[in-house]
Amino acid sequence: MADAEHPRLILHNFLSHEECKELEFIHKSCCTVGYRPYVFSTTLSHLVATNSAHLILPFVPIRERLKEKIEEFFGCEYELVIEFTGLIRY
């Protein structure tokens, strides 16, 4: 069965409407052209480099909540380390 081969976790209502709007605002305000045409990205390192570090704050609690859900879903014995945090739009 496809679900057993490729586990997926769908988190309904994981982000509040306000969180979505805040991330959307940050992305639309600070995104840069990505590695391909029509791909836009906003990364934490980009926000720091462009003197917009204060815009990182909304990402932190969301990233931690997501990490906890992933650890719980996969039954991780050890804490995961996050390598990348960003918003990508195609």
Write the pLDDT tens digit of every residue in 38-66.
899 999 999 999 999 999 999 999 999 99
- Per the DSSP assignment, residues forming a β-bridge with 32 are 41
Cβ atoms 32, 46 nearer than 8 A: yes
Locate 73 and state its tokens.
């879903």
Q: Where are the domains of the chain?
A: 2-89
Helix, strand, or coil (residue 66): helix
Q: Which amino acid is at 6?
A: H
First to last CA, the chain: 30
16 vs 13: CA distance, rounded Å: 6
Residue range 10-36: average pLDDT?
93
- Judge whether 42 and 86 are in contact, CB under 8 Å: yes
Q: Give this prediction's pTM.
A: 0.80
